[in-house]
Structure 1
Amino acid sequence: MTALEPAPAEELTRLRAENAALRARVQHRDDELEVATRMLQARAQTMTSVIDAVTEQSIIGTDVDGVVRVWNPGAERMLGLPRADVVRARSITEFHLPEELAEAGGGLAALVGTAQEQGSDVRDWTYVAADGTELTVSVAVTPRTDDRGVHAGWNFVGTDMTEARATERMKDQFVSLVSHELRTPLTSILGYLELLLDDPGLTDEQRQYLGTVERNAQRLLRLVGDLLFTAQVDAGRFSLQPEDVDLAAVVRAAEETVRVVAGATGVEVSVDVPDGGLLVHGDAVRLGQACDNLVANAVKFTPAGGRVTLALQAAWRTPDGGVEAPQDGAVPVARLSVSDTGIGIPAGEQSQLFARFFRASTARRHAVPGVGLGLAITRAIAAAHDGTLEVSSVEGRGTTFTLTLPR
């Protein structure tokens, strides 16, 4: 044994120390693994408890092929099958109408295609329960990942909307029926009023009274028309008669329509349109209705001494929705801005403006008349023309609506 070689006793002591240290590290890792395992089990148990606590919505989880892996009590209640009969045995597509899936492209891809592209999707589907009952269900679809973040399938959270959708259909049918029934007598009333007003023997007082009756009958007729229009939009029966339309002429006509009312209320209306006009392809009647709604609203919500500005110009829209100068990939559009210096709309309410029958709190506070259908109708007309309607407003300082249409 040379002087450089460790003594056997020293080597044995060193090895024992290393072994003890190694065993301590292994034990530490075992403890960490046990803690992590318990945490994962607790997390999984919590998630399962939460899912099982949901009884009003169906929560269905699938693997990447659509085979059911999660089936909560809400799904049992909605579709009439116990978990044991479904998990790992049935596909999510088996609970859908085959013809509905076929119309959307067929198979699992019809259900998850949009969520795969955009990260999520919410739409109505028809679920078929075990007893054959068909349910209208609003289904939210999202991707499902495993503990490593790898795509593992899909989550389908469904809310039974059968009664709600049936109520909506009944309401729309009622509105349509009542509107039709009201239109006939109103048309007759207006016809006879016109005959009476043509009588040269009327006194000024009688003519004034009949004029008031006619104005209110016309107002009722417009309201009936608006109700009918919204019912047609909801029922998918809203059609267009497209042709080349000079939008500049439509805007001038809208200004002429409100000129008398604006003058009587002390509101100045200015128009800025291209001298040579600006053509778009669309339904002239519906585009006129949209412009009339925007201009009439602007005048109605602007106090005396205020100003309404109608500005029409040629512009371009990029794929991201922005309106820019001409460039590659930009689409030519017509942009109409209707700006006022009126009472404005609270920021928190602007997202609700286009809902039927919604009225801003500023309109209610200032007792501005209306039923809340004009903007819903105008946006529907814009959408039907592949256009957009946007709003920008500051309470107390005014509002700008921007209608953008392809040209």
Structure 2
Amino acid sequence: MTTARVPAAVRRPRLVHRLLAGVAPRAAEIGRLRQENAALLAQVRTRADELDLATRMLAARAQTMTSVIDAVTEQSIIGTDRDGVIRVWNPGAERMLGLPRPEVVRKRSIVEFHLAEELEAEAAACGAAPGLGVLVHAAQEHGSDVRDWTYVAADGQERTVSVAVTPRTDDRGVHAGWNFVGTDMTEVRATERMKDQFVSLISHELRTPLTSILGYLELVLDEDGEPLTDEQRSYLATVERNADRLLRLVGDLLFTAQVDAGRFTLDPRDVDLADVVRAAEESARVTAAGAGVDLVVDLPDGGVVVPGDAVRLGQACDNLVSNAVKFTPSGGRVTLSLRSGWATADGAVSAEPRPGAAPVAQLAVSDTGMGIPTGEQGELFTRFFRSSTARRHAVPGVGLGLAITKAITTAHGGTLGLTSAEGRGTTFTLTLPRTVA
């Protein structure tokens, strides 16, 4: 059996047809790949442009931050890694600690510039790890910390520095180290110590002779053997009144010095605030009557017991009442109001208990006097501050009473609020934790 042969002229068109049939899809595939390649090249160029822009922006931001840090010359700015090795050292640090940047960065630890004895004492007190752990343990717990530390400069000079410590993160938000911003407080703290020492010294020196004067005045006034004339008794009563005033002022100065030095202590026990208010009203009654001021007391039927120091709470209440009487013109009124209540976390106080509310006592001392300008109310509890209304109306005082009252209130875990409008009177509200039977 023989096979017929296909002529060559017939075979060639078929072969060409098959070749062309295979080339067409590949040409389409090549075209598609070229398009994808062009798209990828365009994306690469775009990403490259974005990366270049981001790099330039980061460089500009870094340059801006560096220029800002370098512009700070009055405060030291020191940045460290997680181990305390210094990475940032601004001109303020150079000036404060006496070393140029190249001698410190990546070569020294922040711990080396602290007083070793102070770090050891703090480590023992707080139980933190020695070295860097002592400096940053509070910032680790609370997110930041500000306190006085002793810096030791290159020449051995010690400086009292208020240091703000905050954690530092990298661009991914990962903890990368710590920032230490220091303000030299050496002269300020020295001045404060001298001032406190002066106040304490003068107060002690004045208290002794004043006590003696008052003692002898009491003997003279109570002498039965040789009765005094009415005129003599009047003169001596004036002397006694002013000596008492001076003695109270000395006591106030001593108290403020104790508060500043952290030596203010309490003798806590259960205290009925109603008794404290009655005593304050009795003390101010004569002065109020002489000034033509009506004194009104509004007390609940039962007692209002708080944990605290009866003497200090009495001092706070006396200050509020005497201030109210002094700032109220003749014909006005001062009201002492005591209530029990319940305070929520946001500070709101209601008469009825609420879920999560704490029992409190509220003492409000209101007057119809000259009031306090709004712009001055924030400074009213500052030592020696006197409002413009007090100066304008020549109201006597040195500006210690409210500062003392605020310190006493804070020491008892309470708050002291103020509502006032010039020409329309003032209300001070003292809120204290209350004992519930």
TM-score (norm 1): 0.89
1 CA distance for matches of 2:21 and 2:391? 103
- How far the C-alpha of 1:334 sits from its partner, in A, is 2.1
Segments of 5+ residues of structure 1 without an aligned counterpart are: none
The question of 1:363 aligning with 2:384 is answered: no
Instruction: Work out the CA distance in 2 between the residues paired with 1:105 and 1:321.
Output: 34
Residues 297-306 or 219-228, more deviating: 297-306
| Distance across 2 between alignment mates of 1:261 and 1:50 | 60
**Alignment-mate amino acid for residue 54 of structure 1:** V
Q: 2:88·2:105 contact (CA, 8 Å) conserved in 1?
A: yes
Tell whether 2:395 aligns with 1:373. Answer: no
Structure 1: how far apart are the matches of 2:401 and 2:427?
15
Unaligned runs of 5+ in 2: 1-19
SS in 1 for 2:236: helix
CA contact (8 A) 2:360 2:432 kept: yes
Q: Pick from 65, 73, 79: which aligns with 1:61?
A: 79
Letter in 1 for 2:294: E
Tell me the number of residue pairs that the alignment of Structure 1 and Structure 2 aligns: 406
1:144 to 168, 172, 181: 168
In the alignment, is residue 261 of structure 1 matched against residue 282 of structure 2? no
2:347 & 2:142 partners in 1: Cα distance?
Answer: 17
Deviations 1:166-205 (A, max 9, x none): 1111111111111111112222222333344346654433
Alignment partners' CA distance in 2, 1:299 and 1:135: 47
Tell me the alpha carbon deviations over residues 264-323 of structure 1, each in whole angstroms, 9 at most, x when there is no partner: 222222222222212222221111111101111111122223222212222234455444
- Quote the offset at 1:12 in angstroms: 6.0
CA RMSD of aligned residues (A): 2.7
Identity of aligned pairs, percent? 76
Q: Tell me if 1:168 matches 2:189.
A: no
- Corresponding residue of 1:309: 335
2:104 equivalent to 1:106: no
**Paired residue for 1:51?**
69
Amino acid at match of 1:40: L
The match for 1:296 among 308, 318, 322 is 322
Tell me: CA distance 1:311–1:12, structure 2 relative to 1, closer, same or farther (3 Å): same
CA distance in structure 2 between the partners assigned to 1:394 and 1:316 by the alignment: 27
For 1:7 and 1:99, how far apart are their aligned partners in 2? 79
Whether 1:27 and 2:45 are equivalent positions in the alignment is yes
Q: TM-score, normalised by structure 2?
A: 0.84
Match of 1:157 among 177, 181, 200: 181
1:56-95 residue pairs with structure 2 within 5 A?
56-95=74-113
The residue number in structure 1 matching 2:297 is 271
Displacement of 1:249 in angstroms is 0.3
3-state SS of paired residue (2:52): helix
Secondary structure in 2 aligned to 1:304?
coil
Q: Distance in 2 between matches of 1:4 and 1:307?
A: 109
Rounded Cα–Cα distance in structure 2 between residues aligned with 1:84 and 1:25? 43
| Post-superposition CA distance 1:1-60 (Å, at most 9, x none) | 45995794x776665565445434432332232222112112111211221222221111
The offset of 1:230, in angstroms, is: 0.9
The separation in 1 between residues aligned to 2:296 and 2:133, in whole angstroms, is 53
Secondary structure of 1:106 counterpart:
coil
- 1:250–1:15 distance in 2 versus 1, CA, 3 Å: same
Aligned counterparts of 1:88 and 1:350: Cα–Cα separation in 2: 50
Q: CA deviation at 1:361?
A: 2.1
Task: Provide the C-alpha distance between the structure 2 equivalents of 1:356 and 1:110, rounded to a whole number of angstroms.
Answer: 34
Deviation at 1:247, TM superposition (A): 1.3
Q: Secondary structure at the match of 1:312?
A: strand
Aligned match for 2:417, one of 387, 390, 396: 390
Residues in 2 aligned to 1:144 and 1:398: alpha-carbon distance in whole angstroms: 50
